Amino acid sequence: MATGEPSPDDWFEEFKKLNASSPPQAPGVPVGGAGPSSPASKDTERRRHHRFEIDEASAQLYKEGFLSILGMGKGNLARATIDISEGGAQFLVHERLAIGTKVKLRIAVDKFQDAIEAGGIVRWCYQSAKKKEDFFVGVQFNRTEPAQERKIAAMRTWFTSPQYKAVKQSRARDKIDLSKLQFPP
């Protein structure tokens, strides 16, 4: 052993002394001791509401602007609603939308025989890696009324419930075409 090196038994004691002070700050956490559960650590995650997947919904998404007021530029851009929260929604769309584009949206859910209608702003848009003609777009709602938030909360309760998940799994099993399965002789 070289001079000045700790013995094999002393290294752990030295390690504990060095780490006895507060742990190093995680990336994205502001200095000041904010831990992962504190509000200050939410700098990396800017959403106030968690999104949930939504099925069996029809989606309509239109650019807001002069042409749409005249009825000329009012083509539905949405293919589907991917997920939603009280603060916004993610859509699968036909074309790239510029960040900052003002939009009007309507999401109708047959189960509730109701729809959510809101204005919003495009916060991000990415091209699909699987299909070049598809784009995913995140829309932040301009403002939601308490009634809209209650509708979304009711949807969250249903679409995240164990009952719905069981129904969804059952439907997925029913879609399997047994004639295409090959069983050993």
pLDDT in tens, 47-87: 677 889 988 889 999 998 755 555 555 688 999 999 999 99
Give me the pLDDT at residue 111, please: 80
Q: What are phi and psi of 97, to 5 degrees?
A: -115, 135
Non-local (6+) Cβ contacts of 127 within 8 A are 96, 134, 135
Sketch the domain layout of the chain as residue ranges: 52-168
pLDDT for the residue numbered 141: 94
Cα-atom radius of gyration of the chain, to the nearest Å? Answer: 25
Nearest CA to 152 among 121, 105, 114? 114
Q: What residues form DSSP beta bridges with 140?
A: 88, 121
pLDDT band, very low/low/confident/very high, at 122 (cuts 50, 70, 90) = very high
Q: Is the pLDDT of residue 21 over 70?
A: no
Question: Residue 124 pLDDT > 80, yes or no?
Answer: yes
pLDDT score for 31: 41
Q: Could you give the C-alpha distances from 80 to 23, 70, 105, 176, in angstroms and in order?
A: 45, 25, 12, 23
Report the CATH number of the 52-168 domain. 2.40.10.220
Of 99, 46, 54, 49, the residue nearest 81 (C-alpha): 54
Q: Are 122 and 105 in contact (CB under 8 A)?
A: no
The two three-digit tokens of residue 113, written as one number? 């025989």
- pLDDT tens column, 129-168: 999 999 999 999 998 788 888 989 988 998 999 999 898 8
pLDDT at 177: 59
State residue 56's pLDDT score.
Answer: 82
SS3 111: helix
Q: In terms of pTM, does the model score above 0.75?
A: no
